[in-house]
Amino acid sequence: MIHWERLKSQADLGGPSVVYRARVPGGWFVHVIPIGESSGSFFYPDPGHVWDGKSLDRNEAVEQPATGK
């Protein structure tokens, strides 16, 4: 079973979209539902599942565990 977590998004302030995420192997499956329009989904790689669901600054990155390569 997939557990969807609603993220705080612009929709909470009357904005244009509702965003959900689900923990999957290797990262997150993110689903964006624009209000009144079609939706979209994508995979966000994050093997350590450290992303807290908040937006990142352009210069900020989620630390990924070393792969040993």
Per residue in 12-68, pLDDT (tens digit) is 666 678 889 999 999 999 998 887 766 789 999 999 999 998 876 666 555 555 555
Residue type, 59: N
Radius of gyration of the chain, Cα coordinates, nearest whole angstrom: 13
Mean of the pLDDT values across residues 1-9? 89
pLDDT for the residue numbered 34: 81
Q: Is 10 helix (H, G, I), strand (E, B) or coil?
A: helix
